[in-house]
Amino acid sequence: MNKPCVSLIRAESYDLECLSRNLETLLAPLGGIEAIVKTGDRVLLKPNLLTGARPGKECTTRPELVHAVAQMVIDAGGKPFLGDSPAFGSAMGVAAANGYLPIIEKLNLPVIDFHGQRYQTAGEFNHLLLSKEAMEADVVINLPKVKSHAQLTLTLGVKNLFGCVPGKMKAWWHMEAGKDRDRFGEMLVETAKAIAPNLTILDGIIAHQGNGPSGGEPRHLGILGAASNVFALDRVMVSILGVEPFAVPTIAAQQRLGLIGELADIDFPLLQPADLQIHDFLLPDKLMPIDFGMPRVVQSTFKHLYIRFIKEPMTK
């Protein structure tokens, strides 16, 4: 059985020209974008569009990264579109608040909100309500941000795919599976398995540390990582940040499920994790319960609907 390949490089800037060159270097060991995107493919770009409330605090995937990847997809003959299901607000609203409008207009990039449909999956979580748009895309490119997380310690590639669960259903899953950290981690892993991204590019040029996923502060790391195996990439990034795997429910779950084990199980064609080691990345002051409880689920659902239909009325 072939080992999964994780490509790692140093990247210091979001300058578009420099970033594009770095992405070509990053993806070369994986066969380049041409090994992933074929002419005519509908390609979902799935960034982290958590919130529009803290622009500049690195809570979301940088628009420059999305721009560079979208252009690579176009050059390969693909048809990129941007999609997410923010907990509050619309994908377009959150994207606009975080500086995406220029690239959306320049590249004529469609932006969609995800709509749910039930898909049969293996295991206990065979009743997942997942994005129809994600499940039916020809190619899924996952574009997460390296961030600390007050409930899960870290949010990386696997957690970013929870965005393929329609907005208000996220709060329901927090209530239904969040009473048990192990079970919640397994639900996130099963979601990632169902979405099965073709490529994950992890944005660690500037991360978000401290009381994340939105209450912390920017932290320059100077790292880009990529893999077709999202579980391997997450396992590597946890090692780079010096976080114990068992402290991150998604990493602990994927190890229990036998999806990826230790770093020895992974190939590194460029830099090794030890070459990028971070010794002082700040994690949350304390971990919060994953289970929001019924009052917060109701409040979250109401706020989602209020923002979506009142503050951001639907257009024709």
Tell me, what CATH number does 118's domain have?
A: 3.40.50.11440
Q: Does any domain span residue 53? A: yes
Q: Does any domain span residue 46? A: yes
Q: With H, G, I as helix, E, B as strand and everything else as coil, classify residue 163.
A: helix
| pLDDT at residue 81 in the model | 98
Mean pLDDT of all residues in 95-116: 94
pLDDT > 90: percent of the chain: 71
Q: Does any domain span residue 316? A: no
167-177 vs 181-195: helix crossing angle, rounded to 10? 140
Beta bridge partners of 209: 217
pLDDT per residue over 118-136, tens digit each?
A: 666 666 776 677 888 999 9
Q: Does any domain span residue 236? A: yes
Mean pLDDT of all residues in 142-157: 96
Which residue range(s) make up the domain with 249?
Answer: 7-311
- 43, 49, 50, 54 alpha-carbon torsion, rounded to 10°: 170
Res 18 pLDDT > 80 = yes
Q: Does any domain span residue 20? A: yes
Q: Does any domain span residue 300? A: yes
Mean pLDDT of all residues in 151-155: 95
Q: Does any domain span residue 2? A: no
User: Is-contact 181 290, C-beta < 8 A?
Assistant: yes
pTM beyond cutoff 0.85: yes
| pLDDT at residue 14 in the model | 97
Cα–Cα distance for residue pair 235/253, rounded to 1 Å: 11
Number of domains in the chain: 1
Mean pLDDT of all residues in 32-52: 96
Nearest Cα residue to 48 out of 84, 20, 79: 84
Main-chain phi, psi angles of 119, to 5 degrees: -130, 135
Cα–Cα distance for residue pair 199/73, rounded to 1 Å: 12
Average of per-residue pLDDT values in the chain: 88
Res 239 pLDDT > 90 = yes
Lowest mean pLDDT of 66-70, 163-167, 199-203, 210-214, name the range: 163-167
| pLDDT at residue 2 in the model | 85
Kindly list the distances between the CA atom of residue 150 and the CA atoms of 56, 74, 84, 230, 314, in Å, as whole numbers in the listed order. Answer: 20, 37, 21, 21, 32
Res 110 pLDDT > 70 = yes
Q: Does any domain span residue 1? A: no
Nearest Cα residue to 203 out of 309, 308, 47, 50: 47
